[in-house]
Amino acid sequence: MTAISTPTLSDSTDSLLRFALRADAVIVGVAGLAVALAAAPMAALEGLTAAHEYGLAAFCITYGVVVYFLSAMEELRGVGIGVIAANVVCTVVAIAAVVAGVLPLTGIGVAATLGCAAYTAFFAALQYRGLRRLG
């Protein structure tokens, strides 16, 4: 009888963090492209101007590209801390903007903003869990 053992290809402690960073980057980047393509109709639905939507789209696309390339770095601790901090700040700012009423958001705009806050909070938590696995 012959036993064949498959070698472990990767025993990496950074796989969850790397995955969470890349998933965040891709989702935000694609969302930015969608916002750029539909800025005028989205602005009318959310209560913002098309300029706000284009600015948000540019930020999302840039964030996606930068975080995706940073996720390829060998040492992820600093990258993870920075992206987690950015996601936490985005969560707080989105909630504060809705609570303070600083933007003329419609009901759909409020829902979209709070949805973004939930998204960034989720990814901050997932990335934090990945960071904790680094040891």
Interval 78-113: pLDDT, tens = 999 999 999 999 999 999 999 999 999 999 999 999
Structure tokens at 54: 């284009």
What predicted TM-score, i.e. pTM, was given to this entire model?
Answer: 0.88
pLDDT for residue 5 is more than 90: no
Q: CA nearest 57: which of 21, 31, 26? A: 31
Residue 87 CB neighbours (<10 A): 25
Residue positions counted in the chain: 135
What per-residue confidence (pLDDT) applies to 8? 53
Handedness of CA 117, 123, 127, 128 (dihedral sign): positive
pLDDT for residue 4 is more than 80: no
